[in-house]
Amino acid sequence: MMNHSNQQLNYWPWKLNWKSKIPHKVACFVWLLAEEAVLTQENLMKRGIILSPMCFLCGEQAETVNHLILHCRITGQLWRLFLNLRGIAWSMPGKITEALKSWEGSRSASKRQKQTRIVPTCIWGTICRERNSKCFENVENSMEKIKLNCLLILCFV
Ligand SMILES: [Zn+2]
């Protein structure tokens, strides 16, 4: 997987990810998301592995990649947190690559550009961690804790 992702670096639409000091695991995960290749339940089901199709985070909708990282109620709260903090008016595009492009365009409104740039990575890294801890370890954090985790990633990467 790593060799494969290294070969794909040139195609990554948002190269900043790889230049900034984002932990490699998180950066790799975001690459996977952009390729829509992450092993969500949707993908597992396509491979004939039958699981509940519900999103692990909200339990309300089918867990597609787009749902999990753009439209899920839990993910949406993280987006709103940063949009409010930064005073950015932004409507969520339908696709991950569009979201990244749109976010890159909108950040000119912010003075703290460097930190704003890595917000999507922080959100998705947090969501990935939360989803996996719920899915594999059966550990569920409160919304406040999830928000705090996300802010901590942003402050310390
Ligand atoms: Zn959800």
Residue 135 Cα to ligand 1 midpoint, Å, equals 13
pLDDT of amino acid 42: 65
Residue 89 Cα to ligand 1 midpoint, Å, equals 23
Residue 146 Cα to ligand 1 midpoint, Å, equals 14
Average pLDDT over residues 122-143: 87
Q: Which of 16-20, 69-73, 104-108, 144-148 has the highest mean pLDDT?
A: 144-148
pLDDT of amino acid 107: 55
Q: Please name the residue ranges forming H helices in the chain.
A: 2-7, 16-19, 24-34, 41-46, 65-66, 73-86, 96-106, 113-117, 119-136, 143-156
More confident residue, 118 or 17: 118
CA distance 156 to 78: 17
Residue 75 Cα to ligand 1 midpoint, Å, equals 8
3-state SS assignment for residue 54: strand
Average pLDDT over residues 106-114: 57
Domain boundaries, the chain: 18-156
Residue 81 Cα to ligand 1 midpoint, Å, equals 17
